[in-house]
Amino acid sequence: MADAVLFEFLHTEMVAELWARDPDPGPGGQKMNLSVLEGMGFRVGQALGERLPREMLAFREELDVLKFLCKDLWVAVFQKQMDSLRTNHQGTYVLQDNSFPLLIRMASGLQYLEEAPKFLAFTCGLLRGTLSTLGVKSLVTASVAALPTCKFQVVIQKS
């Protein structure tokens, strides 16, 4: 009995429930659903971030914070590490997961590619929320070129 899949099942149900209310929400409704998911992810990320040991909340380098997301956060949520982390050294980071767990079940063909955004919104929020608790304001977007590989782009917002 694996409790690791509990999050995955619950996430699937959440996405299904939002879309079940309005099976053909149109561009506006689609956007609202994505924003609801992103918001839920943000608050879960914040809450997870608040449970970090204090010393972790005092990262000195931006890059350390991103490495923390790729290792510790990813393992806590998905039981695996992010596959790669790249940066332009100007506040933009690309985090790549070659087999993103929330996409694996639909990874069987190009025809599902357009369904991908609804399975990414929560996780974008999760990254943004955890960063927020760590004192880093950011914009997070996700893109999929070939399932189940997924790239999360984090752009740090300088204040």
Contact status: 85 vs a second copy (CB under 8 A)? no
Task: Choose which of 22, 31, 35, 47 interacts with a second copy (CB under 8 A).
Answer: 47
Backbone angles phi, psi at 29, to 5 degrees: -65, -40
Contact 83/72 with Cβ under 8 angstroms?
no
Place of tokens 């955004």: 117
Contact status: 51 vs a second copy (CB under 8 A)? yes
Number of separate helices (H) and strands (E) present in the chain: 6, 4
Q: Which is nearer to a second copy, 17 or 114 (CB)?
A: 17
Q: Which is nearer to a second copy, 55 or 114 (CB)?
A: 55
Contact status: 58 vs a second copy (CB under 8 A)? no
Q: Which is nearer to a second copy, 62 or 72 (CB)?
A: 72
Contact status: 61 vs a second copy (CB under 8 A)? no
Binding mask 17-36 toward a second copy (x if CB under 8 A, else -) reads x------------------x
Task: Choose which of 44, 82, 116, 134 interacts with a second copy (CB under 8 A).
Answer: 44
H/E segment holding residue 127: helix 121-133
Task: Choose which of 11, 118, 128, 151 interacts with a second copy (CB under 8 A).
Answer: 11
Least distance CB 146 / a second copy (angstroms): 27
Give the span between the Cα atoms of 53 and 59, in whole angstroms: 11
Give the span between the Cα atoms of 62 and 85, in whole angstroms: 13
Vertex 120: Cα angle to 78 and 12 (nearest 5): 70
Task: Choose which of 1, 88, 114, 145 interacts with a second copy (CB under 8 A).
Answer: 1
CA dihedral 59, 39, 126, 151 (to 10 degrees): -110
Residues in the interface with a second copy (CB under 8 A) total 27
